[in-house]
Structure 1
Amino acid sequence: MTSTSDLWTIRPAQARDTDILADIYLRVRRTTFLWVDPGKFHSEDFVGQTPGERVFVCEDRNGTIAGFMTLWEPDDFIHMLYILPEFQGRGAGKALLAALPEWPNRRYRLKCLVKNTRAIAFYRSLGFAIIGDGSSPEGDYKDMQLSGN
């Protein structure tokens, strides 16, 4: 499945994307999660934390990978959504979410770190509601679920 808008192409990840996606995952976590020791993030984390997940890649018109999203399909759980800083605020995250099966009618879930206030605001603006709280090594998080239409 490939989805294309005027600005973004969303496609399934391929093996050749792995190093780029791992770099995005590392870079964005180190620049966003400033309250976590950056030494706790490693380039091999992406591969280690995504087995069995469906991975969506977002490219701009030039074929540059702007970010990615991973989905644990058995639970409709969005595990990761990471956009490079230079592409944030330009619709890449929305394009990735819109590529999900039955978006926005399926009740997708995700966890968002409390200190990542920008991401919480982003998800809330798209119809996600906070349904619970939890804690992780990176800090407290909100469990969020898409309301569905």
Structure 2
Amino acid sequence: RRKSFHWANTEEMNLDDFDRDTTEEYILLAEENSRILGFASLYLPENFIHNLFVHPDFSGKGVGTQLVNHAIEKMGKPVRLKCVSENHKALGFYEKSGWKKVV
């Protein structure tokens, strides 16, 4: 997250944030040979993808697409998500994957 959120104050980020920010969410985990490749947290009551992170070593290798596809499979459509406008890489990923920007 510190590498991905270049616009945020990384000094304020810590491991406890995950537990706090994903309370009552369903977690999808992508892993290979016991190594975490990425995760998505889903708020099921609203069909909302809250977090989607892919380890930088696995960026561009289909992990994000698999997590999104499994999220849609778990929740059904329609699915919503949010993306910070400064996160250009993520915006490109979502637009390339067919998501539509709503302001």
Q: What's 1:123 paired with?
A: 94
Q: Using the TM superposition, give the Cα deviation of residue 65 of structure 1 relative to its aligned residue in structure 2, in angstroms.
A: 1.1
The 1:117/1:51 distance shift into structure 2, 3 A limit, reads: same
- Distance across 1 between alignment mates of 2:30 and 2:79: 19
- Distance across 2 between alignment mates of 1:107 and 1:54: 17
In the alignment, structure 2 segments of 5+ residues that lack a partner are none
Match of 1:44 among 8, 16, 41: 16
Specify which structure has the higher proportion of strand: 1
Q: What's 1:110 paired with?
A: 81
Q: What's 1:33 paired with?
A: 5
- Distance across 2 between alignment mates of 1:123 and 1:101: 14
The 1:34/1:102 distance shift into structure 2, 3 A limit, reads: closer
Q: Using the TM superposition, give the Cα deviation of residue 85 of structure 1 relative to its aligned residue in structure 2, in angstroms.
A: 0.4
Alignment of 1:1-149 (within 5 A): 29-60=1-32, 62-102=33-73, 106-132=77-103
- Distance across 1 between alignment mates of 2:94 and 2:21: 22
- Distance across 1 between alignment mates of 2:30 and 2:69: 11
- Distance across 2 between alignment mates of 1:48 and 1:71: 14
TM-score by length of 2: 0.91
- Distance across 2 between alignment mates of 1:87 and 1:40: 25
Q: AA paired with 1:42?
A: N
Q: AA paired with 2:31?
A: E
Runs (4+) off by over 4 Å: none
CA distances 1:39-87 after superposition (whole Å, capped 9, x unpaired): 1211100001111101000012x23111100100111100000111001
Q: Using the TM superposition, give the Cα deviation of residue 101 of structure 1 relative to its aligned residue in structure 2, in angstroms.
A: 4.4
TM-score by length of 1: 0.64
Instruction: Give the structure with higher Rg (CA).
Output: 1
Q: Secondary structure at the match of 1:124?
A: helix
